Structure 1
Amino acid sequence: MKLENKVAIVTGAASGIGKEIALTFAREGAKVAIADLNVDAAKTAAEEIEAKYGKGSAIGIGMDVTSEAQVEAGVDNVVSHFGKLDILVSNAGIQIVAPVDEYDFTKWKQMLAIHLDGAFLTTRAALKHLYRQGTGGSIIYTGSVHSKEASLLKAPYVTAKHGLIGLAKVVAKEGAKHKVRSNVICPGFVRTPLVDKQIPEQAKTLGLTEDEVVKDIMLKDTVDGEFTTVQDVAEATLFLAAFESNALTGQSLVVSHGWFMQ
């Protein structure tokens, strides 16, 4: 198994991409902490993993990634529970769509706080343990094709996802002497509740049908008109988590059916 005896924290993991990453890590032998704003859903997801992969394979914890106190306490609790930390997947995120000239400043700050402040706070908390342990580790950020490209109505999301690449590069340079790697997964559109919510919102704002939003906006630049799946993203994240040398660090891996080619 690729992650046997490893311990991972995955934020925003009670559902969607994060949950699939947690399930995939557990399948490969890792012990996984499901960190989510919805603590009940986090515990339910952990119970599901334990039912499939054995008692003690997962725990669920409540975590608001924009709260310094909650992040520090949550990461410390995971290390106390499992004895160490090897992998952080900073995945928590939301989406709020609107044109720039109409974007509410409070919502702008909320978006940046969850995506960027959350990534910083969880990274800082994880690095304290990874550096002290001295056994290396991996930090993976869930970016997006919007870490490379831009789309209408998504100014703070695009801004934040671009920012994650910068953070990952700095962490890669600073973490290298501690054998800590840092990379970004950049999925295309994945059919999760987060994306499903956007379809009618964009249709209304742009004056299109929902089918036109999917075909002519979301999937128009893919090679096959297909959504990326949660399994696609999870397997790519596993690849980065299991890669054990500094040969692969400070990089961004696009998983998008050909939407944006490097």
Structure 2
Amino acid sequence: MKLDNKICIVTGAASGIGREIAARYAREGGRVAIADLNLAAAQATADDLRREGLQAMAVAMDVTDEAAVERGVADVVAAWGGVDVLVSNAGVQIVHPLEEFPYAEWKKMLAIHLDGAFLTTKACLPHMYRAGGGSVIYMGSVHSKLASVLKAPYVTAKHGLIGLAKVIAKEGAAHGVRANVICPGFVRTPLVDKQIPEQAEKLGISEDDVIKKVMLKDTVDGEFTTTADVAEVALLFATFPSNALTGQSLVVSHGWYMQ
């Protein structure tokens, strides 16, 4: 078991990519906290994993609320004694042309993606430092490397996560803490399904053209990245045995972006 009894917090883990990562970690022996704004959905995910004989707990967490983050992390530490792996995955998508982007929605996007990463990391690092090691993993995007129309705050936030991870890699090295960013291409989750009609309307094209000519046009095979693809990379970063990859980001995109 690659994560035997390692204590893992995954935010936004009640569905989508976060749920897949949480399940992958639990099946590798990890004790996984399903942290989500929707506690009922988090509990349902934790219950599903426990029915498999795996170790999981549900935690209510609004990643934009410092007190809520600290309470959630404290609940995990009280239950299991520490934190070894943090996956900051919670995210949303809102699309508008920049000149029409409501400031409140800009701030909401940055709060969830960037403030959420900062607050969860800040809450978890002391426990990792005391234990002598840990892994911090941020959910970036191909948009951590490239820009797309209609996504100004999302692109800004995802670029910012790479900078934050580099700082954590520098500061955490003396304490055995690594930091990395996973940069998926388009993954067919409810978040992406919501974008398809929105972009079709904004761009004046069909939903099929959004998929083929916008989302997947630069992949090598016309395929969506899968949640399982992303979970495998999350497992790699969580279990990598040295600092050789710390501070690095890895694109998982079926060749959409190559570096």
1:107-152 Cα distance to aligned partner (Å, 9 max, x none)? 0000000000000000000001111222x11000000000000111
Decide which of 218, 231, 247 is 1:221's aligned counterpart: 218
How far did 1:174 drift? 0.2
Which blocks of at least 5 consecutive residues in structure 2 are unaligned? none
Letter in 1 for 2:226: T
Decide which of 150, 165, 168 is 2:165's aligned counterpart: 168
Q: Which residue pairs with 1:19 in the alignment?
A: 19
Residues 179-194 of structure 1: pairs in structure 2 closer than 5 A:
179-194=176-191
1:65-88 Cα distance to aligned partner (Å, 9 max, x none)? 000000011101101101121000
Query: Is the counterpart of residue 104 in structure 1 residue 134 in structure 2?
Result: no
Query: Is the counterpart of residue 253 in structure 1 residue 250 in structure 2?
Result: yes
How far did 1:176 drift? 0.2
After the TM superposition, list the runs of 4 or more consecutive aligned residues in structure 1 that deviate by more than 3 angstroms: none
Of all paired residues, the percent bearing the same amino acid is 70
Q: TM-score, normalised by structure 1?
A: 0.98
Decide which of 75, 86, 89 is 1:88's aligned counterpart: 86
Q: CA RMSD in A?
A: 0.6
* Separation of aligned partners in 1, 2:69 and 2:240: 26
Residues 134-145 of structure 1: pairs in structure 2 closer than 5 A:
134=132, 136-145=133-142
Q: Which residue pairs with 1:10 in the alignment?
A: 10
In the alignment, is the contact (CA less than 8 A) between 1:26 and 1:53 conserved in 2? Answer: no
How far did 1:5 drift? 1.5
How far did 1:53 drift? 3.0
Letter in 2 for 1:66: T
* Separation of aligned partners in 1, 2:148 and 2:180: 23
SS at match of 2:69: helix
In the alignment, is the contact (CA less than 8 A) between 1:27 and 1:53 conserved in 2? Answer: no
The number of residues matched between the two structures is: 259
Decide which of 175, 192, 195 is 1:178's aligned counterpart: 175
Query: Is the counterpart of residue 153 in structure 1 residue 153 in structure 2?
Result: no
Query: Is the counterpart of residue 206 in structure 1 residue 203 in structure 2?
Result: yes
1:4-24 Cα distance to aligned partner (Å, 9 max, x none)? 120100000000000000000
SS at match of 2:52: helix
